Amino acid sequence: NNHNNNNSQLLEKVLKSPLSSLRVPFIQQSESVLHQIQELENQQNDKDEKEEEQEDESKEELDEANSDNEQDTNNNDDSSSFSFDPMAYQMVRSKLEKTQGTIQHGVDTASSAKNLLHSLIADESQQNDLDLILYTLAIDTFYYSKLSTFDLYQILVGILPEFENQESSSCSSKEQQCLELEQQQQQPPALCPIQILERSNTIFPTKDMMPMLEDFCTHHKDCLESSQDNNSHATNNDDEGVSLPPTDISDCFGGYIAPQQVSDEKDTILRTQVYSIMDDSIALPTNLVELETKQNELNQEKARLESELQTLLGDIDEDKYGPGGLLWSIKDECYAVDAGKYTYEVCILGKATQRDRGQKSGGTNLGQWDGITISEDDPSTIEMNWKHGTKCWNGPARSTQVLISCGAETKILSADEPQTCTYVLEMESYIACNDSYKQKHGL
């Protein structure tokens, strides 16, 4: 709940910021238009359904009296008719919803950024480097956004103190005059006519940027005037005086113009004097680019091999080769170890054998392959079994158990006979290096 409250507070602050001053009215006006469109669609649907019902009635009721009644009903319907262009309103809805989505994405990003800044400012360990961190964040945001000249100018106007509303008062915050002044100061300064910022030897916008900004102001003014003319929401129904939504939306609807990325044609100065210099300063070294290219190629090859492996595993009999085809890579292998005067050998999917040292063939059958098991309680514990070997004198049939632990090489480490005719071997193998083993040993 505290987390949600904090997010709501951040969102409220973002929406009250100067840069949101044109966005909030757009959201409100666009919601009104979308609501009107929905209402019209509902009316049109009701009208269509009614006309269908009337057509059905006309087929069933052919007498003159009913025909007269039907004519009267149609006349009544005509009195409430309105002009409805579904394709035009569909385009209006699409355009408004797209811009709403862009604004919402920006609001969400701003809320997240504000949260980050609060955390940085509150972190005492960052205080010595805070100015540098904030400066770097600002530069990175500016560079990677690739904003146009006018949008960059708009941001600076909205955040730099030189552009703030300069009116001030020494009144108490409890006085009504002071409250009104505070509300006024929350409004952004006018973007047009263009204002000049001078700091030491720096002037922004530069002289070369001014023509483009002034052209934008002219376009902005014309667009706003056009938007205001149409903001009476267009036409009224001739019969009922019903207010209808506009069938076309200007780029300036609600006084809001969506931010644009830098244009090579319009933002020549910003592109050549700022972005190009930054491009060179942060360009990756050639050899690093080559390494990243190689890394991408290897990742693609890895993905291809994993896909092939997945296809192979899909055809593998898990009852025979274990979960996920665990034994597939060692399915035809035999492993041996010397212990005392004997050599113990186990063949995967085959049999286990005990021979005298130096003996190459024959020997005692210690069991036939009986399968592999993985403990449900501890998946890092893997066990292979051979059973139904040669029967001991006056005892059980011989059996062999192999306990596997993680290792780079598959090999048997030891062999023992803890009980009569029951043999236990310890083995290392990469097939046991699974995620459970990593977690168990903190790797």
For 379-393, the pLDDT digits (tens) are: 777 899 999 999 998
State the average pLDDT over residues 260-267: 76
Do residues 349 and 327 lie in contact, with contact meaning Cβ atoms separated by under 8 Å? yes
Predicted local distance difference test score (pLDDT) of residue 346: 95
Residue 347 reports pLDDT greater than 70: yes
pLDDT digits (tens, 9 = 90+) for 53-85: 887 777 766 555 554 554 444 444 444 455 567
Specify which of 194-203, 326-335, 406-415 reaches the highest per-range mean pLDDT: 406-415
Q: For 207, phi and psi rounded to 5 degrees?
A: -60, -35
SS3 of residue 259 by DSSP: coil
State the average pLDDT over residues 315-329: 77
Q: For 177, phi and psi rounded to 5 degrees?
A: -60, -40
- Which of 83, 98, 115, 97 has its CA nearest to residue 14? 115
pTM: 0.49
Strand pairing report for 364-374 and 399-406 = unpaired
Predicted local distance difference test score (pLDDT) of residue 176: 53
SS3 of residue 147 by DSSP: strand
Specify which of 222-236, 273-287, 343-357 reaches the highest per-range mean pLDDT: 343-357
State the average pLDDT over residues 104-124: 83
Strand pairing report for 399-406 and 382-387 = antiparallel
Residue 102 reports pLDDT greater than 70: yes
- pLDDT category at 241 given cuts 50, 70, 90 is low
Greater model confidence, 354 or 61? 354
Specify the range with the lowest mean pLDDT, choosing from 44-48, 198-202, 268-272, 424-428: 268-272
Sequence-separated (6 or more) residues with CB below 8 Å from residue 231: 29, 254
- pLDDT category at 401 given cuts 50, 70, 90 is very high
- Which of 234, 281, 308 has its CA nearest to residue 85? 234
Predicted local distance difference test score (pLDDT) of residue 366: 95
State the average pLDDT over residues 99-113: 84
Residue that has been written with the tokens 């972190």 in this structure: 123
Per the DSSP assignment, residues forming a β-bridge with 202 are: 199
pLDDT digits (tens, 9 = 90+) for 129-171: 888 888 888 888 888 888 888 888 888 877 777 776 544 444 5
Per the DSSP assignment, residues forming a β-bridge with 197 are: 204
pLDDT digits (tens, 9 = 90+) for 272-305: 777 776 776 666 666 777 888 889 899 999 988 8
User: Based on the number of CB atoms within 10 Å of its own CB, is 384 exposed (0-12), middle (13-18) or buried (19 or more)?
Assistant: buried
- pLDDT category at 416 given cuts 50, 70, 90 is very high
Mean pLDDT for the chain?
Answer: 78
- pLDDT category at 313 given cuts 50, 70, 90 is low
pLDDT digits (tens, 9 = 90+) for 356-376: 998 888 899 999 999 998 877
CA distance 352 to 362: 11
Predicted local distance difference test score (pLDDT) of residue 342: 93
Per the DSSP assignment, residues forming a β-bridge with 433 are: none
Residue that has been written with the tokens 């709501």 in this structure: 8
Sequence-separated (6 or more) residues with CB below 8 Å from residue 298: none
Residue 3 reports pLDDT greater than 80: no
Predicted local distance difference test score (pLDDT) of residue 216: 83
Predicted local distance difference test score (pLDDT) of residue 175: 53
Specify which of 20-24, 68-72, 260-264 reaches the highest per-range mean pLDDT: 260-264
Predicted local distance difference test score (pLDDT) of residue 422: 94
Residue 11 reports pLDDT greater than 80: no
CA distance 8 to 115: 11
Predicted local distance difference test score (pLDDT) of residue 74: 47
Predicted local distance difference test score (pLDDT) of residue 160: 78
Predicted local distance difference test score (pLDDT) of residue 315: 61
Amino acid found at 269:
I
Specify the range with the lowest mean pLDDT, choosing from 45-49, 346-350, 407-411: 45-49
